[in-house]
Amino acid sequence: MNKRILLAEDDRNLGTLLRNYLAAKNYETTLYSTGRQALEAYSTGLFDLCILDIMMPEMDGISVAKAIRKADPAIPVIFLTAKNQEEDIIEGFKSGADDYITKPFSMEELLYRIEAIFRRTSGPVVTKEEEICNIGEYVFDKKRQILTIGDEQINLTTKESELLELLFRHKNEMLERNYALKSIWIDDNYFNARSMDVYITRLRKYLKKDPAVRILNIHGKGYRLIC
C-alpha cells in the first residue's frame, strides 16, 4: 500500500509540482492551500507523513504541526519554508518537526529526506521484550513512543523517541555527537546540531523525576545516558 502524504503549500504552482512529483514516486499525495484546510483534512483522513509550508493563510504551518502533534505525536512532519533564520528553524523543531527544508530546494532532496524518515520510522520487526526498555524508574515503549513513570505517561515525537532509543543503546557509555546526528538527522550540519540540542533538553526535562537518570554532556564529543 502506498504511503499517504498530506501536503500544505499556499503557492499553487509549487504545490501542484510537488504533488505530481511525489505521485510519480508512488506517494499518494493530497494538496491543501491553507493551514486550516490541512488540519481539517488531517482530522478526517489517514496520513503517514505531513509536509507543511510555514507561511500559509488562515493558519501557519507551525500551529498546524502543534495541533497535529496533540492528536498523533508519532506522525513525521517536514517543514518547507523560505525562512532560514536560525530562530525560525529552532522554533520549527520545537513544534515537533522531523525535518526542515528551506526554499529553493530540489525535488530529489525532498524525496531523499522523505525516504530517510520512512526508513527510520518503519525499522526492523522486534520482539515484545525489545520494544520495552527500563530507564531507571521509567518504562520506555519504543514502538508506541511512550515514556511512563508511575501514573504519568509522556507521548514522544518520532525524533524524541529515536534519540532516546539511541542514548539507551549506548547507556553508561558515550554517544558520539556526529554519529547521533547522522543516524537520526542524516546530516551533521549546524542547524541539525542545534535541533539535537533542543531534543536533548526536552529529554532531560522528561527524565528529571528520577534523579538517578541523567543525560551528561561530554564536552565537544557527545552525550552519556546514566541510568
Residues 41 and 143 placed together within one structural domain of the fold: no
Residues 94 and 181 placed together within one structural domain of the fold: no
Domain boundary among 98, 122, 146: 122
**pLDDT attached to residue 45:** 76
Output the pTM of the full model.
Answer: 0.59
Residues 153 and 183 placed together within one structural domain of the fold: yes
Residue 90 belongs to a domain with what CATH number? Answer: 3.40.50.2300
Q: Dig out the grid coordinates for 155 from the structure.
A: 507521548
What's the total number of domains in the chain?
Answer: 2
86 pLDDT band (50/70/90 cuts)?
low
Domain boundary among 104, 122, 140: 122
**pLDDT attached to residue 124:** 45
Most confident of 80-84, 114-118, 182-186, 213-217: 213-217
Residues 70 and 176 placed together within one structural domain of the fold: no
Residues 92 and 148 placed together within one structural domain of the fold: no
Q: Which residues have a Cβ under 8 Å from the Cβ of 45 and sit 6 or more positions away?
A: 4, 6, 30
Residues 135 and 110 placed together within one structural domain of the fold: no
Closest C-alpha among 82, 188, 73 to residue 121: 73
Residues 111 and 190 placed together within one structural domain of the fold: no
Q: Dig out the grid coordinates for 124 from the structure.
A: 526492523
Residues 54 and 99 placed together within one structural domain of the fold: yes
Tens-digit pLDDT profile for residues 110-132 = 888 898 888 776 654 344 446 78
Q: Is the pLDDT of residue 152 over 90?
A: yes
Residues 89 and 175 placed together within one structural domain of the fold: no
85 pLDDT band (50/70/90 cuts)?
low
Domain boundary among 122, 140, 174: 122
The residue segments making up the domain with residue 212 are 128-226
79 membership: H or E segment, kind and range: strand 77-81
Distance CA 135, CA 227 (A): 6
The long-range contacts involving 189-193, CB below 8 angstroms and separated by at least 24 positions, are: 191/86, 191/89, 191/100
Residues 174 and 68 placed together within one structural domain of the fold: no
Residue 133 belongs to a domain with what CATH number? Answer: 1.10.10.10
**Angle at the Cα of 163 (from 218 to 220), degrees rounded to 5?**
20
3-class SS at 27?
A: coil
Tens-digit pLDDT profile for residues 10-24 = 999 999 999 999 999
3-class SS at 93?
A: helix
Residues 216 and 111 placed together within one structural domain of the fold: no
Torsions phi, psi of 29, nearest 5?
-115, 130
Question: CA-CA distances (angstroms) from residue 87 to 90, 99, 145?
Answer: 5, 15, 27
Residues 152 and 90 placed together within one structural domain of the fold: no
Torsions phi, psi of 146, nearest 5?
-125, 135
**pLDDT attached to residue 131:** 78
